[in-house]
Structure 1
């Protein structure tokens, strides 16, 4: 099932082999008009939360809004934040199934959504290597709204770096040992005034 009315030939991955991890990038996963429609729908209907994080004895608001959706029972914990899933929406489930249709090894049971309200919102350097994601997790990341920069750097060799401009409707696949060997971030970009939504489909294994 393809909700986007595209043939497989209309989608092309740029595959980047990082030796100890893989990145696949597809600019045209969702056509722009459909991506804009999803963006508007998610801004208005997703149950966004303003989480807080404790650092050095102080509490700070997370510099973006988040939401966790998926099948019942697949909870997720990161940076001390416990996420209990909201039920899948029709739109999230549809996007999930399209990704799975051409990534046969994928079987996503949950999705983390991030709302970057403008270029001041960010996510700092981190790896998605929590125990609940298992070894060598496969993560699919869909971008909607404003184009934002996505940075990667190697954990042990800071000279190994990669930057991608994530366009609306684009898809990034993170594969192999990437989460164990690389960090990634969405940095502050003050000149950006528009919002961005990021959907990261995951498989919780425990």
Structure 2
């Protein structure tokens, strides 16, 4: 089962679930109207994390930043993230996302994809700190990129959606239990993109 692009959306009412089963993913196109991409690039304390592959250290294929209301340390892929305090701009985006999905967030992970060669591999946001059925709100700014899902057991179940500037994607329910997601590399000439994923820890 393959679903592609934004065909599953009802643009004149509540969004449809993009997943066929075992989870809930909702897309709100052009959710955040203000163009803040340049401000995010300039105001964010980006860092270049590294990971070990076969004993060799390599750079993550993107830049990252971790924000939190308190001292919520977040560990993924062996990287320990100590939070920076929320900026007024991030607080504004967070509050808009909270109002839309009716859930409060206290942390945010920012990813900066500088071109099509930058990517995020297959993974689930299923760390114990996020709780059993986490609600994750993801807001995109800048160039459009493909965002993909695949089921952990039913290998033919795949979903692909294009995320554009200002789009809000909400992952909730049992999504992280049953589905992996990624931002794949592409050889196409693309501009830069920033993704903000708001989460609740603790």
TM-score by length of 1: 0.89
Query: Please, which runs of 5 or more residues in structure 2 have no aligned partner?
Result: 1-10
Between the aligned partners of 2:28 and 2:198, the Cα distance in structure 1 is 15
Between the aligned partners of 1:192 and 1:125, the Cα distance in structure 2 is 22
Query: Please, which runs of 5 or more residues in structure 1 have no aligned partner?
Result: 1-8
Match 1:25 to one of 14, 27, 33: 27
Determine if contact 1:16/1:22 at 8 Å carries over to the other structure: yes
Determine if contact 1:137/1:175 at 8 Å carries over to the other structure: yes
Q: If each structure's helix is expressed as a fraction of its own residues, which one has the higher value? A: 1
Match 2:119 to one of 114, 119, 122: 122
- Structure 1, residues 56-86: CA drift from partner, whole Å, max 9, x if none? 2111100000000111211100000010110
Q: Look up the match of 1:6.
A: none
Give the 3-state SS of the residue equivalent to 2:169 in structure 1: strand
TM-score by length of 2: 0.91
Between the aligned partners of 1:144 and 1:100, the Cα distance in structure 2 is 18
Between the aligned partners of 2:153 and 2:84, the Cα distance in structure 1 is 37
- Structure 1, residues 20-60: CA drift from partner, whole Å, max 9, x if none? 100100112012xx13xx10001011000000011221111
- Structure 1, residues 135-189: CA drift from partner, whole Å, max 9, x if none? 1110000000000000100000110000000011001000111011000000011
Q: Look up the match of 1:93.
A: 91
Match 2:196 to one of 191, 196, 199: 199
Are the structure 2 counterparts of residues 150 and 117 from structure 1 closer, same or farther at C-alpha, using a change threshold of 3 Å? same
Are the structure 2 counterparts of residues 180 and 22 from structure 1 closer, same or farther at C-alpha, using a change threshold of 3 Å? same
Alignment size in residue pairs: 192
Between the aligned partners of 1:137 and 1:25, the Cα distance in structure 2 is 17
Backbone CA RMSD of aligned residues: 1.5
Are the structure 2 counterparts of residues 67 and 203 from structure 1 closer, same or farther at C-alpha, using a change threshold of 3 Å? same
Determine if contact 1:74/1:110 at 8 Å carries over to the other structure: yes
Shift of residue 192, structure 1, vs aligned partner: 2.9
Q: How does 1:40-189 map to 2 (within 5 A)?
A: 40-104=38-102, 106-189=103-186
Determine if contact 2:72/2:82 at 8 Å carries over to the other structure: yes
Structure 1 runs, 4 residues or longer, greater than 6 Å off: none
Give the 3-state SS of the residue equivalent to 2:46 in structure 1: coil
